Each structure stands twice: as C-alpha cells, then as structure tokens.
C-alpha cells in the first residue's frame, strides 16, 4: 500500500496558557498543505516491524519514531500482522509543517484499510490523539479551527486553492522545546475564529503567530524571508507552527527564483483529495 502523507500550515497561532501537564493551550487554524511524504506499507513475516527512511535525515531512535508507535498502538488492541514501513521523507523536519504527525496519522489510516479494521473516523482520531497534538488533524485532513492542545477541532469553510502559495524552508531547524522557550503565553487580543473569516487581504492586520517574535529574534533570517515575501506582493505571509518554514500567499503565480538564496522553495499545488 502506498500512502501520501501531506503537510499542514498554521494560519495564526495563539499561545494562551501553559497547563499543569506541561502542554500549552492554543488557538490556531490548521490547513492541509500539498507537500508529501511517501509511505509504502507492506505486510511481512518478520517478528518485528521495520522502518526504512530515505530522503531527508530524521534523527532519533527508530523505535521512538511515530510511525512505529502508530503501529504498536493498534497492535495492542487488534490482531494485525507485522509490517514493514518504507518512508521517503520530503516534508522538512523542524519546519512547523507537521510532517511527523502526518506520517503517524496516515499509518493509522493505512493499517485500518489494509487489515480491514473498520475503525470510524472518530476512533482513528482518538488513537491519533494518543500519538501527538497535531496527529488527529490528518485523519479528516480538512481546514479546522484548533483549540486546546491542538486536538479539539471545529471544521471551517476555507479554501486557498484560488491562490498561489510558496513555502520557503531555510537550513534552520527549530525544535518544539526551543520554540516554547521563546514564547510568553497570553490571552489573545484577536478572536482568531472570527478573523479567519475576514477577506484574505485583511489577515496580515489581524492574524499572527505568537512564536514569531521570539524565533525571529534568534533567527533574523526568518524575519527577513517574511518581509521579502511581502515586498514581492504576498497577500499574507507567516511562519508556520513553531518551526522555521515561512509561507506566502499571492494573488497569482509569481517568479520567486531569487528566494533560492534563503533555502529550499516549495510550490504546493491544490490538494487533489
């Protein structure tokens, strides 16, 4: 089975409060982004599941990878065969694009289909929640207003398909721990759920990512990229999540080859499903 696990962007991210369990209360809009990791999921006769990663380097022990954890989570409750997982990693890590969470969610969906577990969407989301805050978003994979720790979703009507989008990924890795160390939780001044309904040309005046202030101070290049996107005519530009990817939304296609000096450039196409 071949799976195409897509990324996401955050449109606005408000860090409201730190909880007693160490997590943070957030408000954000999650939107699916057509940059993909490719996963091949196969049944195997081996005693243990395997994970082979190609493409971008992923640090850490394979046993701690969310793909393996997703498999182990379902194997605890269902009699399913051992699998081999081949992952072509194309979504950059430390970018705020949710690549690891997407891979885990798509493994859950793939196992459900491959072994005919007949799990409902709500059940898959419940399993995904156990893996990570962003994971359940990728089960339904549609635009949502996210609250709480990033697992409480309300679907919204939002399509960026008519616009031209670009994602700039410099050679900077921002860990989640580092990002949260730079941000001070506070009550939001703007109702994000209402602000996202404004015309897109109004977003830059009302919608912001609370991580930007601290991260931009540490990594001025990221601020430079955002400002450069606006200078090129972006309707809206922002850092995504707590990572280092900067995206810009334009009215129409534009030549951005000069941005290669900042890092890798992604030109996502509209989602096909």
pLDDT in tens, the chain (273 residues): 999 999 999 999 999 998 878 778 999 999 999 999 999 999 999 999 999 999 887 877 888 899 999 999 999 999 999 999 999 999 998 899 999 999 999 999 999 999 999 999 999 999 999 998 889 999 999 999 999 888 899 999 999 999 999 999 999 988 888 888 889 899 999 999 999 999 999 999 999 999 999 999 999 999 999 999 999 999 999 999 998 999 999 999 998 999 999 999 999 876 654
d(CA 22, CA 12): 22
User: For helices 66-75 and 121-131, what crossing angle results, to 10°?
Assistant: 130
For 155-166, give the DSSP string.
Answer: E-----TTSEEE
Please list the active-site residues: 8, 134
Cβ(248)–Cβ(237) below 8 Å = yes
d(CA 119, CA 128): 12
With a CB cutoff of 8 Å and minimum separation 6, the contacts of 23 are 133, 149
In CATH terms, the fold of domain 2-155 is Ribosomal Protein S5; domain 2 (3.30.230)
| 260 backbone dihedrals φ, ψ, rounded to 5° | -60, -20
pTM score over 0.75: yes
Task: Evaluate whether 2-155 and 164-266 have a shared fold.
Answer: no
**Residue boundaries of the structural domains of the chain:** 2-155, 164-266
Q: Which CATH class is domain 164-266?
A: alpha beta
């Amino acid at each position: 089975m071949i799976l195409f696990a897509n990324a996401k962007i955050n449109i606005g991210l408000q860090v409201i409060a730190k909880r007693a369990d160490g997590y943070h209360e957030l408000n954000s809009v999650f939107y699916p982004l057509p940059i993909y990791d490719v996963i091949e999921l196969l049944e195997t006769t081996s005693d243990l599941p395997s994970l082979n990663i190609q493409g971008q380097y992923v640090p850490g022990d394979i046993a701690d990878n969310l793909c393996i954890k997703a498999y182990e989570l379902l194997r605890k409750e269902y009699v399913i065969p051992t699998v081999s997982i081949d992952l072509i990693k194309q979504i950059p890590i430390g970018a705020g694009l949710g690549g690891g969470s997407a891979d885990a969610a798509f493994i859950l969906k793939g196992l459900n289909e491959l072994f005919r577990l007949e799990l409902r969407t709500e059940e898959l989301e419940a399993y995904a929640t156990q893996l990570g805050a962003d994971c359940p978003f990728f089960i339904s994979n549609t635009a949502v207003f996210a609250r709480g720790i990033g697992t409480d979703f309300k679907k919204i009507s939002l399509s960026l398909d008519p616009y031209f989008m670009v994602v700039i990924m410099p050679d900077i890795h921002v860990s989640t721990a580092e990002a949260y160390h730079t941000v001070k939780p506070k009550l939001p001044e703007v109702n994000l759920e209402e602000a996202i309904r404004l015309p897109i040309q109004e977003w830059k005046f009302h919608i912001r990512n609370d991580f930007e202030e601290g991260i931009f101070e540490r990594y001025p290049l990221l601020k430079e990229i955002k400002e450069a996107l606006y200078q090129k005519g972006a309707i809206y530009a922002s850092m995504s999540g707590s990572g280092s990817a900067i995206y810009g939304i334009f009215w129409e296609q534009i030549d951005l080859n000069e941005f290669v000096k900042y890092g890798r450039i992604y030109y996502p196409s509209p989602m096909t499903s």
